[in-house]
Every structure is written in C-alpha cells, then in structure tokens.
Amino acid sequence: MGAPLTSANFDYLLLKMLARKMAYAGLDSITDDGTNADLLAGKLEAARFLGIIPSSPVAIVDDDLAGLADPQLPCLFAVAELVTLESILGNRAAPDQEAGTDNYQYHGKFYDSMETTVARKRTTCLRQYGYGQGTLTPGVMDLGFAATIDQASGIPV
C-alpha cells in the first residue's frame, strides 16, 4: 500500500477527471488543495457511503481518509465523480442567446451529453458498488389486531 490519500490528492484527482466540465458550468475547476467547495458534496457523499463519518460536516480532512484501503478507492472516486457530475447538471446556467446561435446550440448539446454521462455513471456506481440502491431492513408489520379462527368452519373471523 502506498501513501495514504489526502484531501488535496482527492481534489487534484477529481479535477483531473472533471475540470473542463466544471469550468463550463461555472464551478471552481482550479482549487486542488483539499478546500474546493464545488467538490465537497461528492467527497462527503462518497466518504459516507464507505462508512466514513467525517470529522466535520463541511470538510473532508486527511484524517478522514487515512483508514481507506486501496480496494475502496475506485468506489470513493466513482461516487464522488457521480455527485459532482450531478452538481454540474444542477448548476446549469441559461445560455447567452446574444453570444450567437452556435453557442446556444453547443450549450444544449453539452448538457444533453452530461445527462447521458450522469445516467451512465449512475448505472456503473449501482452495478459495481451498490451505490444508489435503497437499503432493506427486515422486520415485522403489526396490523394492530389478532385474527381468530372459527372452530366450526375453520374460517378466520
């Protein structure tokens, strides 16, 4: 096992995957020192999915990531990437129609392709890591009454 993942490394690697898309959506595509607020939601969600309870609700620090094993890293990055892609879609700005038709059409194509990318990543995260599926808890449902059986006919009353 190599050096542990740091929050700054986490930002750096996520930005390597997502910087261009983030820049187009007007998100911070430069800060890679572990404090990038536009990557935070994805980092927090990925950490929580892996059972890490961050020491702060508004940051992922190096100590939070220290216990991750190498086999967990692909899941961590996949979930963080998915949530960040969803954030890019959620930060969709209205295109500037005065900038010309080509810009307006490119804007639409970019976000259409983003929706496809998000759907594909969501499927990948579900199939490979189980992310996105609900949890089932076994239990007993109490209906608040007890049925009795009529001894003569055998029919519940």
Give the Cα separation of 148 and 157 in Å (integer).
5
Is the predicted pLDDT of residue 11 greater than 70, yes or no? Answer: yes
Average pLDDT over residues 92-103: 58
Average pLDDT over residues 72-96: 88
Q: Model pTM?
A: 0.78
Average pLDDT over residues 47-69: 92
Q: Which pLDDT does position 108 carry in this prediction?
A: 79
Residue 152 burial (CB count, 10 A): 6
Confidence at 96, pLDDT banded by 50, 70, 90: low
Is the predicted pLDDT of residue 143 greater than 70, yes or no? Answer: no
**66 or 143, higher pLDDT:** 66
**In the 8-state DSSP scheme, what is residue 55?**
S
Is the predicted pLDDT of residue 99 greater than 60, yes or no? Answer: no
Residue identified by tokens 């519940």 is 156
